[in-house]
Chain A
């Protein structure tokens, strides 16, 4: 029983972790905390719904289109809306992304209405069943898909940022934009790339979670809140931080939901997280040093 819950928690946590990653990568490179992040993903989920359920496209094809669309929206938002005003205060920047959140919510309502739209799982076969002395664990195929894709994305991102020249250059921009220019790094291009990656990740998360949440304008709200919380819990710094933050929250949530209270699941989980933050205000893996604003 407890293993089943931990596995379920890891899968939820994996989604929190990639949302956290998407937020952190955009924040580290451009200094913008994107409060509209989940809502940008939500638009991609609607694109998927339109391609797959309305037009009748192939599942994989619709999936790729919606992720590419999300990447493009993210690029356009950063380049067209945020870049021109990047010198305003961080607080104002947050409010601009809140404005964007309202705008995207409105667009979704206007275009697709406020009905809950259903999209099917990609994999509906028999669940994976693991039997061992302590009991059995059942994992639906869609969850295996989520776990596989999330792991794949995380590994790809780690390899990109640590092994490729471009990825390292992006980290250089995040650490010191001015000096990176002196090296000949096109920091403006790196910022765009970081948002493209972030947008693609957000769309991926939205399409993966959509079969459970249904597609509607606020579908990503809880994922966004928990992703943001995971990023903060991880110290808003690094990939490992986001992963640890996300998985911990997912597991805490599932255990609390099973053993303490189903109704107050979120309340207790958040209380635990707040307690952690109060004991360690810089997050689990964060450092106390001044960070980029």
Chain B
């Protein structure tokens, strides 16, 4: 039986001048799945996500919800239900928490009721944000900024949420909290494509994983069946 993947990537190539950051990768994400792309720094993970969200030039075929988005402009992609929560948080520092969330709702800006509902949902998920809704987001702590970035990405109710290194620079306790939240987000029906260096936490919540090395997949499979020690030793440098 041919399954309909919500995201299907065939032969993705990303080049920065003469350097090939992503070298012909193919993968897919199914509805309601959590998929992780793991790998060391510079393996091509972030480039993969940037390519999917249209921020950088890419070759290959990207199909999202049966629509070819290989040539679509970055700012049109969130309208289709594919949203990237960027690396290093990328919040708007001179705006309040509430306004940051509002920007996440840009694609549904005509629907005030939906914006209100989604804002409440985000505040329900991250109570810390609700307490700080009027605060300038540049003054938030690292963990709060990460919550804000995730909350903002959820504002337009994506079908597939892509996250770039959500654990970056956070304490183990906060990492656990963030990943629990991701599980909860997934439970409510959002598929997740995660890019992580922190292989252990990512593998724990994932259905499937891909391991990236020098712009290619060196390994892929069901998260439960991967031998974690081998993965760590062989591909992630200890």
Contacts and interface: CB of A to CB of B under 8 A. Distances in A.
A–B contact at 8 Å CB threshold (below):
yes
B92 interface: yes
B102 A184 contact: no
A165 B78 contact: no
Given A179-B90, A182-B78, A183-B78, A168 B53 contact: no
Contacts of B95: 168, 171-172, 175
Contacts of B153: 182
B10 interface: no
Interface string A17-34: 000000000000000000
Interface string B68-104: 0000001111110001101000111111000100111
A29 to B, nearest CB: 13
Contact of B102 (A168, A176, A179, A181): A168
B63 interface: no
A182 B102 contact: no
Contact of B74 (A168, A171, A172, A182): A182
A187 interface: yes
Contacts of A175: 92-95
A118 interface: no
Given A172-B95, A175-B95, A178-B55, A186 B75 contact: yes
A285 to B, nearest CB: 13
Contacts, number: 63
A108 interface: no
B76 A184 contact: yes
A185 interface: yes
Interface residues of B, number: 28
Nearest to B55: A178
B86 A168 contact: no
A172 B99 CA distance: 9
B165 to A, nearest CB: 14
B107 interface: yes
A244 B78 CA distance: 39
Interface string A172-198: 100110111111111100000000000
Contacts of A187: 75
A50 B76 CA distance: 43
A169 interface: yes
B55 A180 contact: no
B68 to A, nearest CB: 19
A176 B76 CA distance: 17
B75 A181 contact: yes
A183 B79 CA distance: 9
A183 B90 contact: no
Contacts of A180: 92, 103
Contact of B53 (A171, A176, A182, A186): A182
A183 B104 contact: yes
Given A180-B103, A184-B106, A184-B156, A172 B92 contact: yes
B121 interface: no
Contacts of B90: 176, 178-179, 182
A90 B53 CA distance: 28
Given A178-B55, A179-B90, A184-B156, A168 B75 contact: no
Contact of B79 (A172, A176, A178, A184): A184
B232 interface: no
B92 A165 contact: no
23 contacts: A165-B102, A165-B109, A168-B102, A175-B92, A178-B55, A179-B90, A179-B91, A180-B92, A181-B54, A181-B55, A182-B74, A182-B83, A182-B86, A182-B90, A183-B103, A183-B104, A183-B106, A183-B156, A184-B76, A184-B77, A184-B78, A184-B79, A184-B106
Q: What 6 A-B pairs are tightest by C-beta distance, nearest first?
A: A184-B78, A184-B107, A179-B90, A181-B74, A175-B92, A183-B106
Given A171-B94, A180-B92, A182-B90, 19 more contacts: A165-B102, A165-B106, A168-B99, A172-B92, A176-B90, A178-B55, A179-B86, A181-B74, A182-B55, A182-B74, A182-B78, A182-B84, A183-B78, A183-B106, A183-B152, A184-B76, A184-B106, A184-B156, A185-B106
